[in-house]
């Protein structure tokens, strides 16, 4: 056996995990690091696997997209919903162009008109008289990323979430040591996990049967968990793949490299409306495409693209939101009367030849900058991620004289259970919150499946997500599911982190009653529960001991005392209780 190269992949999205999986299947030693939890950044996009039909003016790209759509359907069927798609336009000329282009690219399509079209999608505008159906699909990017990472692990890859690259050494034109920092809660008060005195975890029986002081159900152990203290280490990979998307320039700069690519912000909206049954792509008379699609029982709209020069423009603007709303309403008029819940933004880098999107580039820094040992991926998409990963793996293997064929188009992804071992959990207790149809036991299982507790990841594992500020009023109940196993400071930190991130997606869409609701929620958290830096970390008192964080978790309403609460349907609006007052 010859030497096995060690490759470090930076980036825990669907592309980074795809590269790690391909390299691991080919027998290389792979380590993947990601700053956050796996896949938590992938949900900011639409989640469409495109058939290539709407890009059929570029026949090569259309055929590639269609090929990848078929391959992903074969290997990742558990993550994909075959909704199909409709391409529509209020311009007869644009509609005919779409149909002819799809036919020329050999993509299976069909023309639907009149009553058949209204039956397929009743909400379409009366101005839309014809549609071209295409085999588009909807995918859950989070589950797809988990499945891809699980497959990479099966083939020997090491996956390290919550790990940031802090330095990349360069020695005589070659990448050298890479410095890493593992921090499960950036910004939190650093404290090691405290040992549980009875050998079990708080609230769970533990220790030997004859231990007189073991923890019993409903009781807390003497010491509750806190966040693990940050730790640092160094590794010496033979090669590095930079797959962090829109932040790739930050990683490259650690090695003294500049990418020279513009950053592109892609914004999508989540609307509180009954979703369409299919992926609807509306092409306006000026050739702009707007996608309206189902997403966890609601409607997602996208995508607005713009280039930015700094982080100040890295979020959707009010103008972006209005334009997306107007464009979507041209195709589905009922959307103009519905509430926009939030605006998500994802960053990517622009390829040298044109727009960010399905195109991609591999920047070999040895050839480009005289610094051997790293390749940066620019571009790529959810639909093309497997293909791009194959190109990267081919290139890396060639550098080490390895000739092994790609197998990621043949080996199925494993079925993953986002809740881990607790996936079959049954719980007769009432739901925790009127806005989230989950029980206390399900929440506890979701947090247990996270390497480090986080509300966003926990709700994604439960197949749901917070939308409006009204729903985020329940965030404290969700966070309180961590108590008493975790210390109160941990619960406060988790809640604060969620609210900070949630606010970023809320600012562009708040107006009228929603702005008033957000203000009330903010006042509730800040004034009633004293959330803030001092509340989370504690303020030293005069005697040197940490002050009370100001949050009485024992008094939180966690859903257990509400005997009449039943599990609501997805998207059901509350008709009683706190949120309807």
Alpha carbon distance 52, 69 (integer Å): 8
User: 354-358: long-range contacts at Cβ-Cβ below 8 A with a sequence spacing of 24 or more?
Assistant: 355/264, 355/305, 356/264, 356/266, 356/305, 357/381, 358/50, 358/55, 358/61, 358/64, 358/65, 358/383, 358/384
Alpha carbon distance 147, 414 (integer Å): 6
Model confidence at 541: pLDDT above 50: no
DSSP for 152-192 reads HHHTT-EEESSEEEEEEEEETTEEEEEEEEE-SSTTSPP-P
Model confidence at 538: pLDDT above 50: no
Q: Which of 318, 320, 377, 292 is nearest to 47 (CA)?
A: 292
Q: Decide: 52 and 65 in contact? Cβ < 8 Å.
A: yes
Alpha carbon distance 536, 494 (integer Å): 9
pLDDT per position as a tens digit, 401-418: 999 999 999 999 999 988
Q: Decide: 10 and 118 in contact? Cβ < 8 Å.
A: no
Contacts of residue 239, Cβ cutoff 8 Å, sequence gap at least 6:
5, 6, 7, 8, 175, 373, 374, 375, 396, 399, 400
Alpha carbon distance 564, 424 (integer Å): 24
Contacts of residue 55, Cβ cutoff 8 Å, sequence gap at least 6:
61, 62, 65, 358
Question: Coil, strand or helix: which one is 341?
Answer: strand
pLDDT per position as a tens digit, 552-576: 444 333 333 333 333 333 333 334 3
Q: Which two tokens stand for residue 471?
A: 């729903």
Alpha carbon distance 157, 150 (integer Å): 9
Q: Is 162 left (phi over 0), alpha (psi -120 to 50) or beta?
A: left
Backbone angles phi, psi at 319, to 5 degrees: -65, -40
User: 158-161: long-range contacts at Cβ-Cβ below 8 A with a sequence spacing of 24 or more?
Assistant: 158/30, 158/31, 158/32, 159/12, 159/17, 159/20, 159/32, 159/38, 160/31, 160/32, 160/33, 160/34, 161/12, 161/34, 161/36, 161/37, 161/38, 161/451, 161/452
Model confidence at 61: pLDDT above 60: yes
Q: Decide: 177 and 169 in contact? Cβ < 8 Å.
A: yes
- Give residue for tokens 């004034």: 527
pLDDT value of residue 556: 37
Of the pLDDT bands very low, low, confident and very high (cuts 50, 70, 90), residue 427 is: low
Which of these ranges, 43-52, 81-90, 394-403, 426-435, has the smallest mean pLDDT? 426-435
Higher pLDDT, residue 441 or 571: 441
Of the pLDDT bands very low, low, confident and very high (cuts 50, 70, 90), residue 428 is: low
Model confidence at 80: pLDDT above 90: yes
Which H helix or E strand runs over 362?
strand 360-364
Q: What's the number of CA atoms in the CB half-sphere (13 Å) around residue 235?
A: 23
Question: Coil, strand or helix: which one is 283?
Answer: strand
Side by side, the strands of the sheet bearing 6-10 are 158-160, 29-33, 6-10, 239-242, 374-379, 360-364
Alpha carbon distance 9, 532 (integer Å): 35
Q: What is the DSSP letter of 51?
A: -
Contacts of residue 278, Cβ cutoff 8 Å, sequence gap at least 6:
83, 84, 85, 86, 120, 121, 133, 136, 293
Alpha carbon distance 3, 268 (integer Å): 46
Secondary structure of 500-534 as H, E, C letters: HHHHHHHHHHCCCHHHHHHHHHHHHHHHHCCCCHH
Q: What is the mean pLDDT of residues 221-232?
A: 78
Which H helix or E strand runs over 143?
helix 141-154
What domains are there in the chain, each with its CATH number? 1-47+140-191+228-261+350-416 (3.50.50.60), 77-137+266-343 (3.30.9.10), 195-225 (no CATH), 420-580 (no CATH)
Q: How many CB atoms within 10 Å of residue 504?
A: 15
Q: How large is the angle between the packed helices 92-104 and 59-75, nearest 10 degrees? A: 70
Task: Say how many residues make up the chain.
Answer: 581
Q: How many CB atoms within 10 Å of residue 161?
A: 21
Q: What percent of the chain has pLDDT over 90?
A: 44
The sign of the CA dihedral 514, 519, 523, 529 is: positive
Side by side, the strands of the sheet bearing 231-235 are 163-171, 174-182, 231-235
Side by side, the strands of the sheet bearing 289-295 are 110-113, 130-134, 85-88, 279-283, 289-295, 298-308, 263-271, 340-349
pLDDT per position as a tens digit, 376-392: 999 999 999 999 999 99
Model confidence at 536: pLDDT above 50: no
Q: Which of 114, 86, 80 is nearest to 99 (CA)?
A: 86
pLDDT per position as a tens digit, 267-286: 999 999 888 999 999 988 77
Question: Coil, strand or helix: which one is 124?
Answer: coil
In the chain, the largest separation of any two C-alpha atoms, in whole Å, equals 81
Of the pLDDT bands very low, low, confident and very high (cuts 50, 70, 90), residue 473 is: low
Average pLDDT for the chain? 81
Model confidence at 467: pLDDT above 80: no
């Amino acid at each position: 056996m010859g030497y096995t190269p060690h490759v470090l992949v930076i980036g825990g999205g669907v592309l980074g995990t795809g590269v790690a999986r391909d390299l691991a299947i080919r027998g290389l030693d792979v380590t993947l690091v990601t700053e956050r939890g796996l896949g938590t950044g992938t949900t900011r996009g639409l989640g469409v696997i495109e058939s290539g039909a709407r890009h059929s003016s570029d026949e090569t790209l259309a055929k590639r997209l269609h090929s990848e759509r078929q391959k992903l359907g074969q290997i990742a069927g558990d993550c994909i919903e075959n909704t199909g798609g409709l391409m529509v336009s209020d311009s007869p000329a644009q509609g005919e162009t779409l149909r002819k282009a799809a036919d020329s690219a050999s993509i299976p399509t069909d023309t639907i008109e009149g009553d058949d079209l209204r039956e397929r999608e009743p909400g379409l505008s009366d101005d839309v008289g014809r549609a071209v159906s295409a085999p588009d699909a909807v995918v859950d990017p989070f589950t797809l990323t988990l499945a891809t990472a699980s497959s990479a692990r099966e083939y020997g890859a090491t996956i390290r979430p919550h790990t940031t690259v802090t330095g990349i050494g360069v020695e005589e034109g070659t990448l050298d040591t890479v410095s890493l920092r593992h921090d499960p809660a950036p910004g939190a008060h650093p404290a090691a996990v405290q040992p549980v005195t009875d050998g079990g975890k708080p609230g769970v029986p533990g220790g030997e049967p004859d231990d007189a002081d073991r923890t019993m159900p409903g009781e807390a152990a003497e010491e509750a968990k806190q966040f693990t203290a940050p730790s640092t280490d160094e590794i010496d990979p033979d090669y590095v793949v930079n797959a962090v998307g829109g932040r790739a320039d930050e990683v490259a700069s650690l090695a003294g490299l500049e990418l020279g690519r513009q950053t592109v912000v892609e914004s999508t909206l989540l609307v509180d409306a009954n979703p369409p049954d299919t992926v609807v792509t509306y092409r306006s008379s000026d050739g702009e495409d707007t996608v309206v699609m189902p997403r966890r029982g609601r409607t997602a709209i996208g995508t607005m693209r713009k280039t930015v020069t700094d982080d100040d423009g890295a979020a959707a603007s009010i103008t972006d939101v209005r334009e997306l709303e107007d464009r979507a309403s041209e195709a589905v008029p009922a959307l103009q009367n519905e509430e926009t819940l939030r605006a998500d933004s994802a960053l990517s880098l622009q390829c040298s030849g044109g727009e960010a999107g399905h195109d991609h580039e591999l920047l070999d820094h040895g050839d480009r900058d005289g610094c051997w040992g790293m390749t940066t991926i620019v571009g790529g998409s959810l639909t093309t991620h497997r293909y791009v990963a194959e190109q990267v793996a081919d290139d890396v293997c060639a550098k080490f004289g390895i000739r092994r064929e790609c197998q990621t188009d043949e080996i199925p992804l494993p079925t993953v259970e986002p809740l881990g071992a607790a996936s079959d959990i049954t719980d007769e207790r009432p739901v925790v919150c009127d806005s989230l149809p989950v029980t206390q036991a399900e929440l506890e299982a979701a947090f247990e499946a996270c390497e480090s507790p986080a509300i966003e990841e926990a709700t994604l594992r439960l197949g749901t997500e917070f939308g409006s500020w009204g729903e985020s009023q329940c965030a404290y109940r969700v966070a309180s599911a961590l108590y008493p196993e975790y210390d109160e400071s941990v619960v406060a930190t988790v809640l604060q982190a969620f609210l900070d991130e949630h606010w970023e997606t809320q600012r562009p869409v708040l107006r009228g009653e929603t702005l008033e609701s957000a203000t009330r929620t903010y006042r509730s958290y800040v004034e009633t529960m004293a959330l803030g830096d001092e509340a989370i970390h504690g303020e030293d008192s005069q005697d040197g001991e940490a002050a009370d964080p100001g949050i009485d978790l024992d008094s939180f309403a966690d859903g257990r005392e509400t005997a009449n609460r039943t599990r609501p349907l997805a998207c059901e609006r509350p008709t009683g209780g706190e949120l309807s007052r």
